[in-house]
Structures are given as structure tokens and as C-alpha cells.
Amino acid sequence: MIDKLEFFIALANQKHFGRAAEECGVTQPTLSAAIRQLEDQLGVMLVSRGSRFQGLTPEGQRVLEWARRIVGDTRTMREEMRAAHKGLAGHIRIAAIPTALAMVPKITAPFQERHPDVTFSIISRNSLQVLSLLENLEIDAGITYLENEPLGRVTSVPLYAERYHLITAAGSPLSERASVTWKEVGDLRLCLLTADMQNRRIINRHLAEAGATVRPTLESNSMIVLFSHVQTGRWASIMPKNIADSFGFPSDIHKIPITEPDAEHLVGLVATHREPFTPLVSALLHEARLLAESEKGR
């Protein structure tokens, strides 16, 4: 039953029998047969079928909720027994918004020092993708904004508040100022994150509230791309202070606080709320709380 539920979750995520089979490491006929057996056991149709996958039935949507819960609990049980027998070991999958990537080593490095048999995968995603991956059991935890958009049923640990700076090359407009306003920043040639990023939606809102029109001449989903274009001297950007600090900017790149308002937005670690947590996620939440306490004292 557990294997069949895992196949069903994969199909719901991939929306394609072939890709779901590939993800599960089985043939497509094996996966299709398992889904039909699951339907027979439950006495309901779970999948709308034609020549290809057409979505889940209403009963399928409800079973998907149960499947995630049951599979999540099963994984927790297996991991807890493995930890009891061998100590904490395994693999943690984390998705983080681009502006939080520089913060991730502050969690993973001390965590791995305490638990050397744990490995990590870190991917960059926008805030909505982080929550979707979490819901679909494709990651163990995410790092994202805790405000502005609904998080759903998660446990969250606030880590730090983003504060925004104008990042610009020496000799460019406003580069010698001690601070600038959102209105002034809106008049510059800007390179910003793409519109699907919550950071960009936050910046758009603050610029609009200041009466500025958002007209970036370059967009990217990579902070490295934005930084490399700022270095040319032709663009300026708006970045959270923490990630600007992490780049170790040369002296010819200036970081200038943006005021009116002096905005800040909370970023934290999120994990699907369940009792008990897997040993790995429980330890990760503990590490996040330690980091949050150290950040408060800075």
C-alpha cells in the first residue's frame, strides 16, 4: 500500500504517467497497474484517464491528502528507527529563495559539524515553488518569506529580516549618498529579479508606494547575474543587505540604505507541520532556532 501511495503522489506531482514512473524507478506499466490496484482497494476512481493523464478525480484529490500524510508518517517512522539504530544520518533536501541562499551555510555548516553523516541538496526556487515542493514531499524544508503570502500548514522559524540597499558602482548617480529614497531609486537604470520572485513583488510594491514606476532594463532569477551587471557600471540593483554583504563587494561597488520607508521583511525556515517530525527535520529546526538566536544578538 505504501509503495502504491508513493506512486500516486508521484503521478499527482508529475501529471504524466511516464515521468512519474521514471521518478519512482519503475516501468510505466508497473506504475499504471499499481494505481489501478489502489483504485480497486479503495473502491473509487482516483485518476481521470483518456489517452493520457487528465487530472485527479475529486476522490483522488482527497486520497492525495491522505497519501501525503501516510507516506510522510511512514518516512518519519523509518528515519526514526534508523536514527535509533545508527545515529542521525541521511539526506536533507532544502529549497531556498534566491535572496536567502547566502544564509544557508549558516545552518548547514554547523549542522554537518554536529552530524557528519548527514548530506544536503540545496536548490533555488521562488517562494511559491518552495511551498509547493514542501507540500508534495519533494523537499524536507524551505527557506522563504514568512509574510506577505499565505504559507499553509507549516512550522516556521524566523531567521532574519531583509533590509534593502541600493547596489551601484562608484561614480554612478546617487553612489556617494549616505542613504537614498525609494522614489530616487525608481529613476535609475535597474536590474532586478524576475517578476515571479516574491522579492521582486516586494520591491515593486515599495517603489509603487513611493510613486515610482518600475522599469528594469534587465531581469534575472540569479543574484550572481544581477551583481555581474552592476559591476559594469551601467546598472544599479536593489538587494537585501545580507546577500549584498555575502558577495564581499569590491570598494568600487557601494551599498546604500534605502529609506522612506526603511522596509524589512521576515525570512525563515519552514517545514511541513507534523507530529512527530522526522529526526532530520527536527534537528534542522533546532539548528535554525540556534541561528535565529545568534542573529538576534547581532
Distance between CA atoms of residues 57 and 244, nearest Å: 47
| pLDDT mean over 22-35 | 90
pLDDT at 297: 58
| pLDDT mean over 290-295 | 88
pLDDT class of 247 with cuts at 50, 70, 90? confident
Select the highest-mean-pLDDT range: 71-75, 76-80, 147-151. 71-75
pLDDT class of 180 with cuts at 50, 70, 90? very high
* pLDDT surpassing 70 at residue 104: yes
Distance between CA atoms of residues 272 and 284, nearest Å: 13
Show Cβ contacts of residue 120 under 8 Å, excluding neighbours closer than 6 positions: 91, 92, 93, 94, 108, 112
* pLDDT surpassing 80 at residue 85: no
pLDDT at 51: 63
Pairing of strands 141-145, 264-272: antiparallel
pLDDT at 167: 94
Q: In this predicted model, what pLDDT tens digit does every residue of 258-276 receive, in sequence order?
A: 987 888 899 999 998 877 8
Q: In this predicted model, what pLDDT tens digit does every residue of 122-163 receive, in sequence order?
A: 999 999 999 999 988 889 999 999 987 788 889 999 999 999
2 with 71: CB under 8 angstroms? yes
